């Protein structure tokens, strides 16, 4: 996602932040603006320290919490951006700046600085995923589109589950540099424009039932006797009324109603072992489900071409032109979408 900031509506000047998960630098792309780097922690020092590569200017920043940060500036015109402290909270550059500024936290000392120097000037602007499976083996690859200094390797952070599955070539690009994420553990720096993850033991024996390794779906005779009377009653219920009522309330309630009926049929057929008792319920379930297959419910489903998903039209404008994003519990915004 790009976050684009303009001084005012219609302005050709812009600061664009390309945001991707795992990005090693916070990168800002400036168009005809005066850059300002600010910190509420306060700057203890902000010093230029030469150029790690042609066209890239480097600054070392030390904050009052004793943390070290690096700032890399890549002007389009290759002129010195002249960033300097103007107060203990702000470093400011020259007006009418067009180029890229990148910021990175560096608790790793000189080795980390060398690593960031190597990746400075390059940043990702897009990502795509490819994958394949063969039997119980699968692999998937994340590819990033690289912009800027394309000869430099991208600096990206990988989460533990990525690192655990890296193939050997990707593992060779893993460094020892890590930072703590907010909720997902420590992330390691990986140098490169793509990662490939391998999963050698896919659970290809998964069926319709809730699945867990070693699960055995058997019931005792006592349990089956207890279930038999209840099952006959529940399979004979009016599925159509339940599902229709649910769908009239939206995909949230419709999904729950269909799931309830489907679980009843499955339980009778598979766990109770009584296909003949389950058969009428299955026929009713197919009839109910055909309403969704035909997309003839009160609020039909639609393909969302922006976020590429299937959503309820309940949240789109009605005949009066009024829309409600919260309709159907926000299904059009992918809330409770699993239902």
Q: Tens of pLDDT along 26-64? A: 999 999 999 999 999 999 999 999 899 999 999 999 999
Which of 33, 44, 158 has the alpha carbon at shortest distance from 92? Answer: 33
Structure tokens at 131: 């994958």
- Domain layout of the chain by residue ranges: 2-122, 125-199, 221-333
For residue 290, what are the CA distances in angstroms to 167, 188, 294, 328? 44, 48, 6, 21
Q: What pLDDT was estimated at residue 203? A: 81
Predicted pLDDT of residue 338: 73
Most confident of 195-199, 231-235, 273-277, 328-332: 195-199
pLDDT in the model for residue 219: 81
Higher per-residue confidence, 273 vs 59: 59
Look at residue 65 and tell me whether its pLDDT is greater than 70: yes
Tell me, what's the pLDDT at 59? 98
Q: Report the pLDDT averaged over residues 111-137.
A: 97
Fold held by 2-122? Beta-galactosidase; Chain A, domain 5 (2.70.98)
Helical spans, DSSP H, in the chain = 109-119, 160-165, 168-171, 221-235, 239-248, 251-266, 275-293
Could you tell me which residues come within 8 angstroms of residue 26 by beta carbon, excluding any fewer than 6 positions away? 17, 102, 103, 104
pLDDT at 212 over 90: no
Report the pLDDT averaged over residues 237-247: 93
Contact 231, 261 (CB under 8 A): no
pLDDT above 70 (res 213): no
Place of tokens 């519990």: 329
Query: Could you tell me the pTM of the whole model?
Result: 0.71
Tokens encoding 206: 């998964």
Burial 241-265 (b: 16+ CB within 10 A, else e): ebbbebbebbbbbbbbbbeebbebb
Whole-number Cα distances in Å, 136 to 54, 201, 208: 48, 5, 18
The mean of the pLDDT values for the chain is 93
């Amino acid at each position: 996602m790009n976050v684009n900031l303009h001084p005012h509506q219609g302005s050709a000047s812009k600061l664009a932040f390309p945001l991707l998960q795992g990005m090693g630098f916070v990168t800002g792309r400036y168009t005809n603006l005066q850059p300002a780097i600010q910190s509420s922690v306060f700057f203890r020092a902000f010093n230029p320290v030469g150029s790690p590569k042609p066209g890239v200017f480097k600054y070392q920043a030390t904050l009052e919490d004793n943390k070290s940060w690096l700032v890399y500036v890549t002007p389009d015109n290759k002129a010195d951006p002249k960033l300097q402290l103007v107060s203990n909270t702000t470093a400011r550059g020259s007006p009418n700046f067009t180029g890229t500024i990148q910021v990175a936290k560096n608790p790793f000392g000189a080795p980390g600085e060398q690593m960031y120097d190597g990746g400075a000037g390059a940043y990702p602007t897009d990502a795509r995923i490819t994958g394949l499976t063969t039997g119980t083996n699968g692999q998937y690859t994340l590819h990033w589109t690289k912009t800027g200094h394309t000869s430099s390797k991208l600096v990206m952070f990988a989460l533990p589950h990525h690192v655990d599955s890296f193939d050997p070539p990707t593992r060779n690009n893993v460094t020892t540099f890590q930072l703590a994420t907010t909720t997902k553990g420590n992330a390691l720096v990986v140098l490169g424009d793509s990662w490939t993850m391998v999963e050698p033991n896919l659970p290809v024996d998964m069926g319709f039932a809730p699945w867990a390794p070693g699960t055995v779906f058997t019931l005792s005779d006592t349990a089956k006797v207890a279930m038999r009377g209840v099952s006959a009653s529940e399979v004979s219920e009016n599925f159509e009324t339940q599902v229709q009522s649910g769908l009239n309330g939206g995909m949230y309630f419709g999904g729950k109603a269909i799931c309830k009926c489907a679980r009843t049929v499955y339980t009778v057929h598979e766990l109770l072992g009584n296909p003949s008792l389950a058969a009428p319920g299955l026929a009713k379930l197919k009839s109910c489900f055909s309403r969704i297959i035909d997309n003839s419910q009160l609020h039909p489903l639609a393909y969302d071409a922006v976020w590429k998903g299937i959503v309820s039209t309940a949240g789109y404008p009605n005949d009066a032109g009024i829309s409600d994003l919260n309709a159907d519990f926000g299904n059009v915004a992918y809330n409770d979408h699993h239902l």
